Amino acid sequence: MLEYSSTQDISMSKPNFDMAICEMQAEISKTLSHPIRIAILHYLKDGEKTVNDLTEKLAASQSNVSQHLAIMRQRQIVKTRREGSTVYYRLASPKISQACDMMREVLLDQLNQRQELAKNYSQ
């Protein structure tokens, strides 16, 4: 009887595996395509928050924040912990906030480049 090895399966179908990862990344990117969800990630970097905590910070309605969190939970971007009737949300992985921080740095670099171009153009 042959033993199942996930590394064998991955290496034998590398092109398909790469595309599968690309598709998963696209799905995560779609999930993060809303500014409120990006803001939620930003606030969860510092630790667990309740819906009420996030509602205050985002100046958004509780139902709106809850809907966004539900989508993020389905995509396994956030995890929950219940304590009595209170639900606490946290990032599923610190790498999620690291990826968002890197993207923010790229965007800030692009913004600085545009400002430099505009400054040089106006001189």
Say which CATH number the domain at 28 has.
Answer: 1.10.10.10
Q: Is residue 5 part of a domain?
A: no
Output the 3-class SS for 48-95: CEEHHHHHHHHCCCHHHHHHHHHHHHHCCCEEEEEECCEEEEEECCHH
The count of structural domains within the chain is 1
- The answer to whether residue 115 sits within a structural domain is no
Q: Say if 100 falls within a structural domain.
A: no
**CA–CA separation, 84 vs 2, rounded Å?**
47
Residue 121, domain member (yes or no) = no
Q: Is residue 51 part of a domain?
A: yes
Q: Domain range spanning residue 78?
A: 12-92
**pLDDT digits over 22-66, tens only?**
999 999 999 999 999 999 999 999 999 999 999 999 999 999 999
Q: Is the pLDDT confidence value at 7 over 50?
A: no
Q: What are the pLDDT digits (tens) for 69-85?
A: 999 999 999 999 999 99
